[in-house]
């Protein structure tokens, strides 16, 4: 639910990073936080367990310049990937403008990736959104690991429409900003079309 404040000439959009446990969602937005200049970012808020698993969400507001005189602000959220936090995942999708699906490239996580896309579809539906129409990007993360499934195979198994696909190594920042730029572009296009 994009929030356009005409008086303040501001556009606020919500982007959610979704995906199975430990796929690298938090690492993505940590990288964005680390590489964004101070004036353009707010505080990174993380609610994590003792072992650094996301407990409820991570939140990072960033500013990405202006469009026709409107300042654009993107609120990046991650969901907790662990299966039993489904209620939180659902809640965090409320009012979403765009979704980045972060897939874990390791062979042993392919089933978890597939389950998580299905879970995303269901949770979006509960908010009245359709995965087939929501602005969406697919990131194949952990490309550095030896057990990584080929990008082609992953794309075949996980792609839901003609969404852009990015290979990434979030720990090294590879693919992180390409993914973010793509989802921002899709969200803004969607906004224009409304
Ligand atoms: N080798 C490798 N490790 C990665 C990569 N991205 C993230 N990791 C590691 O994977 C682990 C989990 O990363 P997180 O970003 O916490 O994963 P998450 O998706 O937020 O996990 P939950 O919050 O539990 O859902 C951490 O140890 C990261 O350093 C990557 O591209 N390559
Ligand atoms: Mg996390």
| pLDDT tens digit sequence for 118-128 | 999 999 999 99
Domain boundaries, the chain: 3-193
Tell me how far the alpha carbon of residue 68 lies from the centroid of ligand 2, in angstroms.
34
The reported pLDDT for the residue numbered 66 is 84
Distance, CA of 106 to CA of 121 (rounded, Å): 22
Distance, CA of 117 to CA of 26 (rounded, Å): 18
The reported pLDDT for the residue numbered 169 is 98
Q: Rounded to 5 degrees, what are φ and ψ at 26?
A: -65, -40
The ligand whose atoms approach the alpha carbon of 176 most closely is: 1
- Low pLDDT (below 50) residues in the chain: none
Tell me how far the alpha carbon of residue 172 lies from the centroid of ligand 1, in angstroms.
11
The reported pLDDT for the residue numbered 1 is 62
Q: Token digits for 143?
A: 């490309």
**What residues flank ligand 1, with Cβ below 6 Å?**
19, 21-27, 52-54, 78, 80-82, 141-142, 144-145, 169-171
Beta bridge partners of 5: 10
Q: Whose CA is nearest to atom 32 of ligand 1?
A: 142
The structure's pTM equals: 0.97
Distance, CA of 145 to CA of 134 (rounded, Å): 30
Q: What angle do CA 60, 64, 68 make, to 5 degrees?
A: 140
User: Are residues 168 and 141 in contact, defined by beta-carbon separation less than 8 angstroms?
Assistant: yes
Q: Whose CA is nearest to atom 2 of ligand 1?
A: 142
Q: Whose CA is nearest to atom 3 of ligand 1?
A: 142
Q: Which is the closest atom of ligand 1 to the Cα of 21?
A: 25
Distance, CA of 100 to CA of 141 (rounded, Å): 12
Distance, CA of 4 to CA of 27 (rounded, Å): 29
Mutate to test the pocket of ligand 1, among 16, 18, 21, 22 (most ligand atoms within 8 A of CB): 22
User: Are residues 96 and 57 in contact, defined by beta-carbon separation less than 8 angstroms?
Assistant: no
Domain 3-193 class? alpha beta
Distance of CA 187 to the CA centre of its chain: 12
**What 3-state class would DSSP assign to 106?**
strand
Measured over all CA atoms, what is the biggest interatomic distance in the chain, rounded to whole angstroms? 52
Tell me how far the alpha carbon of residue 146 lies from the centroid of ligand 1, in angstroms.
16
């Amino acid at each position: 639910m994009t929030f356009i404040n005409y008086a303040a000439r501001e556009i606020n959009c919500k982007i959610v990073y979704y995906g199975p446990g430990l796929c690298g969602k938090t690492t993505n937005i940590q990288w964005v936080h680390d590489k964004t200049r101070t004036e353009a970012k707010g505080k990174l808020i993380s609610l994590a367990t003792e072992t650094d698993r996301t407990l409820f969400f991570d939140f990072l507001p960033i500013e990405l310049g202006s469009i026709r005189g409107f300042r654009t602000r993107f609120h990046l959220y991650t969901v907790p990937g662990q299966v039993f936090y489904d209620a939180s995942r659902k809640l965090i999708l409320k009012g979403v403008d765009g979704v980045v699906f972060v897939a874990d490239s390791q062979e042993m996580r392919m089933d978890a990736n597939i389950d998580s896309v299905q879970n995303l579809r269901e949770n979006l539906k509960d908010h009245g959104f359709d995965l087939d129409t929501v602005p969406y990007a697919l990131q194949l993360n952990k490309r550095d690991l030896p057990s990584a499934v080929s990008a082609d195979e992953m794309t075949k198994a996980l792609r839901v429409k003609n969404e852009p696909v990015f290979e990434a190594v979030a720990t090294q920042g590879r693919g992180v900003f390409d993914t973010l730029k793509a989802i921002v572009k899709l969200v803004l296009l969607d906004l224009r079309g409304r």
